[in-house]
Structure 1
Amino acid sequence: MTSEEVETISVKARIPLFWHDQPSLWFGQFETVVNPQKPSEEAKFSLMVAHLEKMDVEQIIDINMSKDRTGRYEEAKKRLLSVYEESGARQLHKLLNDMELGDQKPSQLLNRMREPAREKVPDATLQMLWLQRLSISTRAVLAVSEQKSLDVLAAMTDKMHKQATETQTVCSGTCKGHSKSSPLCAREQKMHGELDLRDAVMQLTKEIAELKVQRTMRATHRYRRSAHSRSRSRSTGRNNNYNRTTRDVCYFHKRFGENARNCRSPCNYGKRREN
């Protein structure tokens, strides 16, 4: 088996079957794997068809059977995208109504929401829609955060989500033998929920305080550098004035001024006094 054949097999193995729910993403993945090999358009078409299901091939049967093989890959790609790609209205509907947190991490939900929101919804609106899917306690914690980055907020929320999940696990073990609706279990759930929220608020407050300290230290450092620069500038100015004043004056007049008993040429002390 030649190295070219081995490479061809390797490329085929890295290409997944066609994704009907995300055709644009599939073509992006397909071309990322295939294009480095610099295949011809016809070779790309053959590789693409090999990863389609029967109902997909039926959508491009006329292209597949055409005697004119020019541009078949791009034409088939365009056809499949038009068949399976959701309209902008449908994507927005999914973003507004269909996406829920479920068993995902908050960051995973955010990444899923970014795809239909891309180039259609500003980040501020996306953040609002994402926050609406989170629990009330999580939103309460994030409301006091000065952090604006969506990715950082998502990472913080993942930590809180993990803590809440662990709390539920502990509560589930505590409530064994009791009905989940029993007063004992309800009190346990409320207690653990309050503790979890309190810990999250404390952690967030600590992080905000650290950010403020860092900001203050940076501001202080900039002020000190600026003050030092101004001080050096004033000192340099004084030295320059002194140098101009004492230029062309002999040692005796520099040292004793008008009380000097001697004078050594060249010396302009007398002329300076006249001026």
Structure 2
Amino acid sequence: MTDDQGTSKKQGQDVNPNLAAVSIKLPPFWPKDPTIWFAQVEAQFTTRGITSQSTKFAYVVASLQPEIAEEVRDLLITPPEENPYDKIKTQLIERTSTSEQKRLHQLLISEELGDRKPSQLLRRRRQLLGERQLEDSIFKTLFLQRLPTNVQLILASTRDTVDIEQLSLIADKVLEVTPNVSSVAAITKSSPPPANVVAANFSPSIANSSSEIDELRSLVSKLTTKVDALTDQLAQRSRGRSRDRAYRGKRQFSRSRSKSRPRFYEKPGGYCWYHFKFGKKAEKCIPPCSYGKSGEQGNNKASD
């Protein structure tokens, strides 16, 4: 009697997980972060009471996209006899996870803000960092370098006194009230955000004091003024150089005409300009000139 009850109870334990699994639907495999995907899958297994290795293995295999299934083809063709779920989990994480070198490259160089919030970018960078240890100040600098220039300027005075989590939340709020620009020149085209608008969007736990906000506003305003002044100076110098070039060009053209005029302005009869203009009173003669050949030398005082 006892054996029958024990047998019945044991059979119930074997059957229940599979019966409960009928209604389960796993999300598609997420190659971007397989560890997170398995955490979600195992949460569903737990809520359904699924403990069988073979059952979990089957559901994981059914959720794989074709390109992912190719990565573990050997395990699909010949499933492991012992702990098949544990083994396919280990191999999927190892074979589809971003390599250490690629993760480091993304962390240092290629990972940009895009259309995400700064706080979302921070979480992504922590994910790329993984279990590696990196000095907080270096990690903070790498994070801030990926933010728009205007946000970096506003956070400049607080970056050393506020931790990176709070900085990311402040950056979220700054982007909500200021335009997203990528250069210092661009922010000079628009006035800095009013301090009261920025302060109103910060939660009490992360908001700067009014004096700090005034300081940030003053800093951006001074920078804008300096850039505008420099732009005006460059424009004035450019206009001055243009006027000088135009004036020198006119003088050079005028001198060229006055010097070349006697040489090229000749009478069709063969007289030089001086004899054509002054006749016998000409005190100069520029050859070739036919005036002297006719015996009418303008500079011969004896003939006068």
The TM-score range, normalised by the shorter chain, is 0.5 to 0.7
- Of 35, 41, 53 in structure 2, the residue corresponding to residue 30 of structure 1 is 41
TM-score between both structures, scaled by the size of structure 2 = 0.52
- 1:81: Cα distance to partner? 2.1
Partner of 1:161: 175
- Of 190, 193, 203 in structure 2, the residue corresponding to residue 192 of structure 1 is 190
Cα 1:80–1:190, aligned 2, differ >3 Å: closer, same or farther? same
Partner of 2:65: 53
Structure 2 Cα separation of the partners of residues 111 and 67 of structure 1: 36
Residues 225-244 of structure 1 show CA distances to partners (whole Å, capped at 9, x for unaligned) of xxxxxxxxxxxxxxxxxxxx
Partner of 2:208: 204
Contact 1:101 1:134 in 2 (8 A): yes
Task: Report the structure, 1 or 2, having the larger helix content.
Answer: 1
Residues 54-109 of structure 1 show CA distances to partners (whole Å, capped at 9, x for unaligned) of 23333333323337531111221222222211222210101111111121111111
Contact 2:18 2:55 in 1 (8 A): no
Partner of 2:164: 150
TM-score between both structures, scaled by the size of structure 1 = 0.57
Cα 1:104–1:61, aligned 2, differ >3 Å: closer, same or farther? closer
- 1:163: Cα distance to partner? 0.5
Cα 1:194–1:152, aligned 2, differ >3 Å: closer, same or farther? same
Contact 1:101 1:133 in 2 (8 A): yes
Report SS of the residue matched to 1:115.
Answer: helix
- Of 15, 18, 21 in structure 1, the residue corresponding to residue 29 of structure 2 is 18
- 1:137: Cα distance to partner? 2.5
Aligned ranges 1:229-248 → 2 under 5 Å: none
Partner of 2:273: none
Partner of 2:144: 131
Contact 1:42 1:69 in 2 (8 A): no
Residues 162-212 of structure 1 show CA distances to partners (whole Å, capped at 9, x for unaligned) of 1014x99xxxxxxxxxxxxxxxxx99x745342357964897342869xxx
Cα 1:6–1:158, aligned 2, differ >3 Å: closer, same or farther? farther
Partner of 1:94: 106
Structure 1 Cα separation of the partners of residues 197 and 79 of structure 2: 69
Structure 1 Cα separation of the partners of residues 58 and 146 of structure 2: 43
Cα root mean square deviation, aligned: 3.4
Cα 1:10–1:106, aligned 2, differ >3 Å: closer, same or farther? farther
Contact 1:60 1:79 in 2 (8 A): yes
Count of residues in correspondence between the two structures: 186
Contact 1:117 1:126 in 2 (8 A): no
- 1:142: Cα distance to partner? 1.6
Structure 2 Cα separation of the partners of residues 193 and 109 of structure 1: 27
Runs of 5+ consecutive residues of structure 2 not aligned to the other structure? 1-15, 201-206, 214-304
From the CA coordinates, give the structure whose radius of gyration is larger.
Answer: 2
Q: Report the residue type matching 2:175 in the other structure.
A: H
Contact 1:106 1:157 in 2 (8 A): yes
Contact 2:122 2:143 in 1 (8 A): yes
Q: Report the residue type matching 1:25 in the other structure.
A: I
Partner of 1:42: 54
Structure 2 Cα separation of the partners of residues 8 and 207 of structure 1: 60
Q: Report the residue type matching 2:104 in the other structure.
A: L
Q: Which moved more, 1:150-159 or 1:36-45?
A: 36-45
